[in-house]
Structure 1
Amino acid sequence: MAASTQRRGRRIMMAPEELDTFLREARTCRVATVSADGTPHVGALWFVWDGTSLWLYSITRSKRWAQLRRDPRISVVVDDGEDYGELRGVELSGTVEFVGEAPRTGEPCPELDVPERLFPAKNFGLDDMPHDGRHAWMRLTPTAIASWDFRKLGGL
């Protein structure tokens, strides 16, 4: 995984296999983008993780899509836990790439074979990717990853 080394919190950071399992199992992420005037925007979105990249399937008429088309820099948080000692999560940052046609209608695109197999199985319990003509794919191959798992603190 091409990501920067986490400097602080080494005690609570996830090992690569923990991070991979967490991202494969989690369903919802929070996507942060920046508007033209610099105002941040955060929204929830379903995703899939292929072991290297986070794949986001977004409505092409959304504020998020328009902002990322203008400025592809992104930060994504996936987190879990209720009590302090249960908190865990991952922040992934980098630049998105738009993959396939927009909106996606199902035209052959080998780059989308893996996310279009993983996404419907994870989120809908389906074998085939439904295409509604409103969504399209973005790939985030993170340049920075920070993770935390407060369960490693041992009951604090």
Structure 2
Amino acid sequence: MSATQRRGRRIMMTDAERDAFLAGRRTCRVATVSAEGRPHVGPLWFVWDGTSLWLYSLTRSLRWAQLLRNPGIAVVVDDGVEYGELRGVELSGRAEFVGEVPRTGEDHDELGPPERMFAAKYFDLDTLPHDSRHAWIRLTPDAVTSWDFRKLTGA
């Protein structure tokens, strides 16, 4: 990651902790901004490959339309109920559209690994079924911030 987290180093996740956390969570919240500056936040499934967050989004969604106009994106994945259990990761940068839109399953070298990960994580399958309604967004973050409040309590 190009940006280093400055505050909260005591509760910051290591790279291995971050990777394990992201692999174990199913839903993220994706923030985009309209042309008028209105924010929109919505839940979405994702996979993390250790470098990039891959989002499989409906192409006829507000999220998709906003990212076409403004590729700035922020994503939060978090967990915990009580204060001492809170942990999460925020990733931000520019969205990139990868592959055909909508995705029909044409061969695409970059999409093989995330599609296999996504199929296994969400469908317990080896290959991802394509519905011609979704397509891939890749976020290779410019900034990553993480927190794990369990480190404050020694959990």
- Secondary structure class of the residue paired with 1:128: coil
Q: Gaps (5+ residues) in structure 1?
A: none
User: Which residue of structure 2 lines up, in the alignment, with residue 58 of structure 1?
Assistant: 57
Identity %: 72
- Please tell me the residue identity of whatever aligns with 1:99: V
TM-score, with normalisation over the residues of structure 1? 0.97
- Secondary structure class of the residue paired with 1:113: helix
- Secondary structure class of the residue paired with 2:17: helix
- Please tell me the residue identity of whatever aligns with 1:64: R
TM-score, with normalisation over the residues of structure 2? 0.98
User: Which residue of structure 1 lines up, in the alignment, with residue 85 of structure 2?
Assistant: 86
User: Which residue of structure 1 lines up, in the alignment, with residue 19 of structure 2?
Assistant: 20
User: Which residue of structure 1 lines up, in the alignment, with residue 40 of structure 2?
Assistant: 41
User: Which residue of structure 2 lines up, in the alignment, with residue 3 of structure 1?
Assistant: 2
- Secondary structure class of the residue paired with 1:61: coil
Cα offsets for 1:78-97 (capped at 9, x unmatched): 00011110000000000011
Question: In the aligned structure 2, how far is the partner of 1:13 from the partner of 1:155?
Answer: 14
Structure 1 position 25, deviation (Å): 1.3
- Please tell me the residue identity of whatever aligns with 2:48: W
CA-based RMSD: 1.1
Question: In the aligned structure 1, how far is the partner of 2:153 from the partner of 2:141?
Answer: 30
Structure 1 position 3, deviation (Å): 3.1
User: Which residue of structure 2 lines up, in the alignment, with residue 101 of structure 1?
Assistant: 100
Question: In the aligned structure 2, how far is the partner of 1:28 from the partner of 1:62?
Answer: 17
Question: In the aligned structure 2, how far is the partner of 1:120 from the partner of 1:155?
Answer: 35
Cα offsets for 1:105-131 (capped at 9, x unmatched): 000101101101000100111111010
Question: In the aligned structure 2, how far is the partner of 1:116 from the partner of 1:75?
Answer: 22
Question: In the aligned structure 1, how far is the partner of 2:51 from the partner of 2:60?
Answer: 27
Q: Gaps (5+ residues) in structure 2?
A: none
Question: In the aligned structure 2, how far is the partner of 1:154 from the partner of 1:5?
Answer: 24
